[in-house]
Chain A
Amino acid sequence: MTVSAELELESFVLLRLGERRFAVAAAQIAELVAPSRVFRFPHRTPKIEGVILRRGRIVPVCDVAETLIGKKLTSRRFYLIAVRHFGAQTEWVALPVTGDCELIHAEMIAPGESDAAQVSGWLSHAGDVMEVLNLDALTPGPEDLLTEAAAEATLEAQP
């Protein structure tokens, strides 16, 4: 490996959802914690299961498995607590994962034009090619409402 290639390496945390593995930029990960009690209350936001209490903070639990692997998780081993950006602000979000997580250094390949918004790039590691997740696009937030409103407006505009 050349010096210039080494400089391209970035740190990622690999997480497992069912049979598949995904990556998240390590800079976005706050910690990995054992599952704790999820407090549920009525709301209308899809993907949000409830909240957990962590270090005095109330952290939303966001099950992204249905979006990524097409089914909800039936078991979970850890919560990956990640940083989610809302414009200039950041908040924690807990992502349930089903297996051990791993920290690796790898070079990310830029996403293709046809890739979904939740894909911020691709990694090749240990024979696997995996998506690097864009948590800001994957987890719900105020921008979802704008997208939904735009979709409704498009439908209404259709003859």
Chain B
Amino acid sequence: MRLATPVKPTALRAEQIILFRVGGQLFAISSASVQEVRSADSLSGASIEINAAGMSKVRHVVRRGEKSLYIVDGTTHFGISAPVGALVFVLRKTRTALLIDGIEKMTSMTRLQALPQCFCHEERRWYRGLTALDQTVVPVVHPEGFLSQEELALLDAALPPMALPEAETNEGAEFPQ
């Protein structure tokens, strides 16, 4: 029997990550990708409803000046059946705000292994890779993997005419870059 040459995992310096849950499932995201953490309630007053065909994961949008921030329900995105989350990550350099259950903790990862090539569907867009933390494997999400360009175009087309939503409350935390 032959032992395959080990695949060298992608070497990374320690990267700060946030472990969070969606529908009870644990995920990780680079803390540099999170611009703000807000309670879902604090955004609800400022959000307006949106209905784009085939886009059940986005039901609300927040307008910030010229920018539309689409609130993606993490449970629908990942196909998890669970109640809607209570916290929102506003993701840096994207037009996505992600609805999550809550934050587990902040930690760091030193190794990110590419998603095995057997995984060959949408998850390749969802995840940057997998990391092993405390003998647990956690998928590390790709901030730009929640809404594709096609989906953004669909949402933009479905945007209701500019309304004047209530001002956002300041119940949240801004993450330093």
Contact = CB atoms under 8 A, between A and B. Distances in A.
Chain A interface extent, by class: 35 or more
A53 B135 CA distance: 8
A84 B118 contact: yes
A50 to B, nearest CB: 8
Chain B interface extent, by class: 20 to 34
A92 B4 CA distance: 8
A91 B116 contact: yes
A86 B121 contact: no
A45 B120 contact: yes
B144 interface: no
B120 A139 contact: no
Nearest to B139: A41
B104 to A, nearest CB: 14
Given A39-B136, A39-B137, A57-B6, A45 B117 contact: no
A140 B25 CA distance: 24
A30 B118 contact: no
A106 interface: no
A149 to B, nearest CB: 12
A42 B123 contact: yes
Interface string A30-55: 11000000010111110010010101
Given A42-B78, A43-B123, A45-B118, 19 more contacts: A26-B1, A27-B2, A42-B25, A42-B79, A43-B121, A44-B79, A44-B121, A45-B121, A51-B116, A51-B130, A51-B137, A57-B113, A60-B116, A83-B2, A84-B117, A91-B118, A92-B4, A93-B116, A145-B121
19 contacts: A27-B1, A41-B137, A42-B80, A42-B126, A42-B139, A43-B121, A45-B121, A51-B116, A53-B137, A55-B6, A57-B6, A58-B116, A58-B130, A58-B137, A83-B4, A90-B5, A91-B7, A91-B117, A141-B118
